[in-house]
Amino acid sequence: MDTGSAKRVVVDAMSMLPGASRMVGGHPLAGSEHSGPAFADRALFHGRTFFLCATPESTAEARERADGLVRGLGAQPLWVEAADHDRMLAATSHLPQIVASLLAASVESPGPYAGPAFRDMTRLAGSDPSIWRDILLANAHDVVRAGRSYGQALSSLLDAIEAEDVASIEGAILSGQRARELLEAAT
Q: Which of residues 72-91 bind its own copies (CB under 8 A)?
A: 78, 85, 88-89, 91
Residues in Cβ contact with 53 at an 8 Å cutoff, skipping those fewer than 6 apart: 7, 11, 24, 25, 26, 27, 79, 80, 81, 82, 85
43 binds its own copies per the rule CB under 8 A: no
Among 49, 57, 63, 83, interactor with its own copies by CB under 8 A: 49
Beta bridge partners of 46: none
CB 43 within 8 A of CB 74: yes
Among 9, 13, 73, 103, interactor with its own copies by CB under 8 A: 103
Query: C-beta of 4: minimal distance to its own copies in Å?
Result: 14
- Contact code string over 115-154 relative to its own copies, x by CB under 8 A: xxxxxxxxxxxxx-xx-xx--xx--x--xx-xxxxxx-xx
What is the radius of gyration, based on Cα positions, of the chain? 19
85, exposed or middle or buried, with CB in 10 Å at 0-12, 13-18, 19+? buried
Nearer Cβ to its own copies (17/179): 179
Query: C-beta of 142: minimal distance to its own copies in Å?
Result: 10
Nearest-angstrom CA–CA distance, 63 and 60: 5
Query: C-beta of 61: minimal distance to its own copies in Å?
Result: 25
User: What phi, psi does 103 have (nearest 5°)?
Assistant: -65, -45
CB 46 within 8 A of CB 76: no
47 binds its own copies per the rule CB under 8 A: no
Query: C-beta of 40: minimal distance to its own copies in Å?
Result: 17
17 binds its own copies per the rule CB under 8 A: no
How far CA 20 is from CA of 17, 47, 70, 121, in Å, comes to: 5, 29, 19, 40
29 binds its own copies per the rule CB under 8 A: yes
4 binds its own copies per the rule CB under 8 A: no
Nearer Cβ to its own copies (13/57): 13
